[in-house]
Amino acid sequence: MKLLLIHADSFEYWATRKTKIAEALEGPIAENRCVENATVVFTAVEPGDSGKIEQAVAEIRKVMGMQHSAECLLYPYAHLSENLSNPREAVEVLNKMAGNLGCNRAPFGWYKKFHLHAKGHPMAEFSRRL
């Protein structure tokens, strides 16, 4: 699993177009999200990452503490890895991570546009490889 964690003043996304592996836009992921003072977690799920959920959640919480961020948003971001898991496993991992973190996530398998306004302090950007 690869993570890019950015402390944002604000982050907003819109699902624009489905891919052939897109999940249905239902429930909380169907809404365009705007978060403020949150850690945005760009996430690439790789094969076997279902066994790394607890480690990922702990690392995200640790970074959120360093950033003094009370909220996070998981954002599937395949561009972080060349070795991606299958879509079913990726959605399962993202759902479990979101549930454990008590946070929302962006939809999987959609082209999305987004606006990111990063905080720019020394602890605002981290990357992790689990």
CA distance 7 to 124: 5
Residue 15 belongs to domain spanning = 2-129
Give the CATH number of the domain where residue 93 resides. 3.50.80.10
User: Residue 125: which residues within 8 A CB-CB, separation 6 or more?
Assistant: 4, 5, 6, 7, 118
Question: CB burial class (10 A; 0-12, 13-18, 19+) of residue 67?
Answer: buried
Whether the Cβ atoms of residue 60 and residue 25 lie closer than 8 Å to each other: no
Q: Check residue 58 and give its pLDDT.
A: 98
Cα–Cα nearest to 91, from 71, 118, 72, 110: 110
Per residue in 1-48, pLDDT (tens digit) is: 999 999 999 999 999 999 999 999 887 776 677 899 999 999 999 999
- Average pLDDT of 112-123? 95
Please tell me the pTM assigned to this model.
Answer: 0.94
For the chain, the domain total comes to 1
Per residue in 54-113, pLDDT (tens digit) is: 999 999 999 999 999 999 999 999 999 999 999 999 999 999 999 999 999 999 999 999
Three-state secondary-structure class, residue 123: coil
Q: Check residue 32 and give its pLDDT.
A: 72
